[in-house]
Chains A and B, each alone.
Chain A
Amino acid sequence: MSENGKGTVAAKPRVATTSLAGCFGCHMSILDIDERILDLVEIIDFDKSPINDFKVFQEQCVVGLIEGGCCNEENVHVLRDFRKKCDILVSVGDCATMGGIPALRNTIPLEECLREAYVDGPTVHNPSGEIPVDEDIPLLLNKVFPAHEVVKIDYYLPGCPPSADALWAALSALLSDEPVELPYSLIKYD
């Protein structure tokens, strides 16, 4: 573990989170730990995260939670940045782990997807017949990638989304240097 991490005594360990090609459902699940979030902020500080709306990293973090895979170039840049700034990266949820719902487009050529969304779809009103293009819109990737195909991922939390209890258990274990062994009941989904 890096010297900036929880090995040092003084500062609280920092946790960063991000939502890439995901639906924010996994972040909802983080909030679902309810009042335990008060315990959490006792022992950690949130760094870059939608929870506190920090847009850039403040410091090196111990844990980074990744929701969603990569569907565009911006996702890739963010994820690569997370890899640099976090000692431990966790793929949270099925989108990060396997691509999930966004990856359903992987069997369809990108152009066909965009035409369906912006031109040909039955509910589309688009008199110009053009696919929106702007240099500020990040380029989509040819396919949607799970996080571990872009950077090294240390842990995977399955679920869509993983339950608040599973997230809590995993995070507590990671922060206390315990082995992350979730009981079957926390990762069983049918």
Chain B
Amino acid sequence: MSEDLTARVSAICGEYGSDAGRMMDIAWRLQRTFGEVSSEAMDVIASETGATRADVESCVSFYSFFSTHKHGRVVIRLSNDVPDRMAGYHRVLGAFEDELGVKCGETTEDGAFTLESTACVGLSDQAPAALINDVPFTELSTDDAREIVRELRKHMDPRRLVHKLGDGNNAHPLIHSMVHNNLRGTGLTLFTSYNRGEAIQKALSMSPVEVIRAVKTARLRGRGGAGFPTGMKWEFTRGARGEPKFIICNADEGEPGTFKDRVLLTERSDRVFAGLTIAGYAIGASEGIVYLRAEYAYLRSFLEAQLEKRRADGLLGESILGHEAFDFDIRIQMGAGAYVCGEETALISSCEGTRGDPKNRPPFPAQEGYLGLPTSVNNVETLCCVAKILEMGPATFCEYGTHQSSGTKLLSISGDVCQPGIYEVPFGTTLREVLEMSEAEDPVAVQVGGPSGQLVGPEDFDREICFDDLATGGSMIVFGPDRDLLKVVEAFMDFFVEESCGYCTPCRIGNVLLRDAVTRVRQRQMEPADIDEMERLAGTVARTSRCGLGQTSPNPILSTLKNFRHLYDELVEEAPDGQRRSFDLDAEVTAAAAIAGRPDGE
């Protein structure tokens, strides 16, 4: 191994105190510096941090943004989510492949470009989208793809390709991006104007317990999907034994079709950070972590600058706003491309520098979270609501929404609508109203809550968006009459197969079997009894998986079986002679025929 490499890797480890708990940061630095985290580099990390070699590799190999072989200097990651596919992903991918002369997943021979596809990058309202290194590219056409490659060949700097800047802070020099906020109906609460420091000021005028009481009075429930009462979570964390305590902001936003946290972080980071600070005050934490998904790395310098400004203004750091007893600071922890890391216990594993394995519960994070200490994990939007509750008072906050679901919800709407983007609606709004607002074109189905949610049809359009009826973390993908819904189901199952952490059998294997079953249904190879079998297996995966990913992964199948059963029934047929149509003997003897020198199989 070269001495130079050893020295440089040790230096990088040294910057993070040779702390194995900072493995994510170390791996990121290596990935950015060398275009890979090589086997030799992992040896050095292991000896520097004291982690075992296996631990280092199990972390590095887990995340899709790290590579153990050399990536090109420019990595093009094309988002392959359903809205991207609806908007021309395959054509754009073809143009990239053609122009680069490599297939998806490969690196050009000169080591300049790597072309990959990746799960939703949080730009479904401006699909098809791609990340080139960290830089987002939106609404790509095949011409764009070719032009991008030609330009990059000249200077290899994707930032120089951003000619037209997006609106709002997207045009801020530290973001400098073509992304658009697409704020549509968002006047109600979260995007209103604000006085910096007001929310924290009000919180600090109360005791922590009073702050928790205010959040409870507002009946705030978590916006990350599960809808757990925020005040109760804080109370548990505050009351749990163990010091110090931690508060984590979940900015992983991995549910395909969701992009509202991106816009909050772009336009209202002050509210997010204020909410996080208030949460820290309430539970008795002095350190907050923002777990930011790798796809949003382009926001990082901007967010760091915002944090710095808050420190300068006394809103972070020691004795916040002169409040002697309250020190609090925030650090940003980058993720590295893993949907499961949005699940709070996997997120904590990742923050601790290991692969994103979910943990067994109990103990819950409130009891034993980050580093085994009491931790509250809250979604970006939840924390924004917290700041808003302090600003406007719990009573006013509750004027929006329903009794069980107070306040408003941000929706990320994409697919077959004329006005895709971010909408803020009071809980209790019907799906039909939302479809009208976003000018959906003849909608026949809506994926509510992303792949882990459900696909509903017109008979459900009058249901209300709230925790007790149509629950959603915010993702809404609308489908018009020409869409092949089973193709959508297949794509979602592909997503879960790809993103399963592999820890438990029902999820690791069950999802592959389910995905393959959908494929075969689409190929008209299945029989009616296979659909029943598929439904049984889906139920088993949902019931026996270890974490929320596997427990919800069969939902695309279960909800289409419930709401669009005819799509399956139309494609299956009894085989009268009992011979399976899906089995093709000629196709199955190709390898052996070639070995035997009988290419025709005879």
Contacts and interface: CB of A to CB of B under 8 A. Distances in A.
B527 A139 contact: no
A46 interface: no
Chain B contact surface mostly: loop
A109 B594 CA distance: 13
A80 B583 CA distance: 11
B590 interface: yes
B596 interface: yes
A151 B590 CA distance: 20
A95 to B, nearest CB: 17
A83 B578 contact: yes
A160 interface: no
B575 A152 contact: yes
Chain A contact surface mostly: mixed
Interface residues of B, number: 22
Interface in B524-570: 527, 529
A150 interface: yes
A3 interface: no
Contacts of B578: 83-84, 89, 151-152
A142 B590 contact: yes
Sort chain A's interface into a size bin.
20 to 34
Contacts of B205: none
B577 interface: yes
Contacts, number: 63
B223 to A, nearest CB: 42
Contacts of A28: none
Given A83-B578, A139-B601, A150 B589 contact: no
Contacts of B598: 135, 139
Which of B577, B578, B587 has the most CB atoms of chain A within a 10 A radius of its CB? B578
A59 interface: no
Contacts of A148: 580
Nearest to A84: B577
Contacts of A114: 595
B591 interface: yes
B589 A73 contact: yes
Interface of A: 72-73, 76, 80, 83-84, 89, 109-111, 114, 131, 133, 135, 137, 139-143, 145, 148-152
The 4 closest A-B pairs by CB, nearest first: A139-B592, A152-B578, A110-B591, A139-B589
15 contacts: A76-B585, A110-B595, A133-B596, A137-B596, A139-B593, A139-B601, A140-B589, A140-B591, A142-B589, A142-B590, A149-B580, A149-B582, A151-B579, A151-B580, A152-B527
Interface of B: 527, 529, 575, 577-580, 582-583, 585, 587-593, 595-598, 601
